[in-house]
Structures are given as structure tokens and as C-alpha cells.
Amino acid sequence: QQQVKQSPQSLIVQKGGIPIINCAYENTAFDYFPWYQQFPGKGPALLIAIRPDVSEKKEGRFTISFNKSAKQFSLHIMDSQPGDSATYFCAASKSADKLIFGTGTRLQVFP
């Protein structure tokens, strides 16, 4: 019940494409869903986060869609750029509790 399932494991898109990464959770007590971006040799960096009372949140080219009834949330990257090539992690937590991370999606954006 503590797992967060993330897919796909890897994704290749061309510049300008819209990669979509999906995550699913079981624990309905989770109330905070962040996405992190990680470049090689660096720590995860917070991209955007959502709470379950909101169905969508946009920050720049990044959008989170949240479906509470399906217990799923996804990250969309609009007009993707080669600089977006990184590993993306979804996560979930309950209040101030630990973050439960998905297994990560390695995104490659080709020019």
C-alpha cells in the first residue's frame, strides 16, 4: 500500500513533443504529490507538486494532472527541449511523512 508505481521506465521524444509520465498509488491517505527532476551527478530537484483537492496544476511547461478517484497522477512536459533530458521521479507522502518515490522515468529529448 506504500508503493507508487511509475511508468514508463524510459521515454524518447523529439524536440517539441509532449512526453507524459504516469504514476499510480494505493494509499488514499497520501495528500501531497511532488515531481522531481534529476540530472546525472545531481540530487533530485523539485519541479512541481499537487494536492488532491486540485485536478490540474501548471508551472511553465510542466503540468500535473491528478485523478483522485483513479488514484493516478501524471506529468506532461509541453514543448519539450533537449535540456529536459533527465530522470523524472514522482512521489507521494502523507502530511510531513517520508516521500515514497516511484522508480523513475529516464527521458531523452532529441533535437
Partner 1 sequence: DSGVTQTPKHLITATGQRVTLRCSPRSGDLSVYWYQQSLDQGLQFLIQYYNGEERAKGNILERFSAQQFPDLHSELNLSSLELGDSALYFCASSVGGGVNQPQHFGDGTRLSIL
In the range 11-40, which residues lie near partner 1 by CB under 8 A? 31-32, 34, 36
d(C-alpha 16, C-alpha 32), whole Å: 29
Under the binding rule (CB under 8 A), the answer on residue 68 touching partner 1 is no
Which amino acid, one-letter code, is at 91? A
User: Count residues contacting partner 1 (CB under 8 A)?
Assistant: 24
Selected binder of partner 1 within 25, 35, 73, 101 (CB under 8 A): 101
Under the binding rule (CB under 8 A), the answer on residue 3 touching partner 1 is no
Under the binding rule (CB under 8 A), the answer on residue 45 touching partner 1 is yes
Instruction: Say if strands 10-14 and 105-110 run parallel, antiparallel, or are unpaired.
Output: parallel
Q: Which of 18, 56, 21 minimizes the C-alpha distance to 38?
A: 21
DSSP classification of residue 51 = -
Residues that bind partner 1 (CB under 8 A): 31-32, 34, 36, 41-46, 49, 51, 89, 93, 95-104
